[in-house]
Amino acid sequence: FSMRLGLALTPRRYRAFVATQFELFNTGLSTVRTGRTLASALLLSFLAYGVDAVGYWLLGSSFGFDVEPFGYLLVVAVGNLAVALPLSIAGIGPFEFFVQQSLTAMGVSSSVALAYALLLHALTLVFVSVAGLASLWSNLAKRPRAEVR
């Protein structure tokens, strides 16, 4: 029903594209049709957000923030949503702005919240970049080399 309604509301020239996107979305959803798979995905998602929140809390504690530990779940969610916006490379800018604003709403001064956001994003980007390069190097090392004649 929702697909037919969505297609009916879509201009004619975009209908084929939107229909393809609906099909891809449905294909993606089909991977979590069983309760066990869905439960595993939810559990791993909550675990990942929890680990992120603990890391954010540890960094916030080192800055001397008086923010409740569960407040960092908001910071994690806001930061992840900001990075999802395709506004800049690696979310630089939107991440810092929204993390700063969420911390400011919880009583942290604006300048200190910005410093926190900058350091947090830098640490995250460095970790992800180093881990990615290490994984790439590891995978390249496992590949058999072509013989040179």
Per-residue confidence at 53, pLDDT binned at 50, 70, 90?
very high
Exposed e or buried b per residue across 58-69, where buried means at least 16 C-beta atoms within 10 angstroms of its C-beta? eebeeeebebee
pLDDT at 149: 64
pLDDT score, position 148: 63
Give me the pLDDT at residue 5, please. 82
Q: To the nearest whole number, what is the mean pLDDT of the chain?
A: 90
- The residue written with tokens 């390069």 in the block is 133
pLDDT of residue 32: 78
Distance of CA 63 to the CA centre of its chain: 23
Mean pLDDT (whole number) for 135-145: 84
Residue 1: band (very low, low, confident or very high) from pLDDT cuts 50, 70, 90? low
**pTM attached to this predicted model:** 0.74
Is the CB of residue 49 less than 8 Å from the CB of residue 76? yes
Side-chain half-sphere exposure of 72, counting CA atoms within 13 A: 21
Report, as an integer, the average pLDDT of 5-31. 85
Kindly state the helix (H) or strand (E) to which residue 22 belongs, with its residue range.
helix 15-30
Q: How far apart are CA 87 and CA 90, in angstroms?
A: 9
Amino acid sitting at position 111: S
* Confidence label for 115 from pLDDT (cuts 50, 70 and 90): very high
Q: What pLDDT, on the 0 to 100 scale, is given for residue 99? A: 97
